Amino acid sequence: IQKTLIIWGDQDQIFPVELAHRLKRHIGESAELVIIKNAGHAVNLEKSKEFCKHLKSFLIDPMRNQIERVDSHIEHY
């Protein structure tokens, strides 16, 4: 099974965050959804440090536990 990382801005005005949840449900358990708060459609530019942190973690440690947690900036689904 190929793991998939979905990174989405919670303020995306082009593709609302509900579409991120639908995409994750469609892909299934192999998908990890990260929603970055206070970021729009250009999440990779608007919150580049947070974006890169999650991308790097996903690529370097693909077998890490998929734990649901919420902190001050990010929600994992």
pLDDT tens for the chain, 77 residues: list them: 889 999 999 999 999 999 999 999 999 999 999 999 999 999 999 999 999 999 999 999 756 544 433 343 455 55
d(CA 7, CA 51): 7
Domain ranges of the chain: 4-76
Fold observed for domain 4-76: Rossmann fold (3.40.50)
pLDDT at 61: 77
| pLDDT for the residue numbered 9 | 98
Q: What is the reported pLDDT for 72?
A: 39
3-state helix, strand, coil in the chain (%, to 5): 35, 20, 45
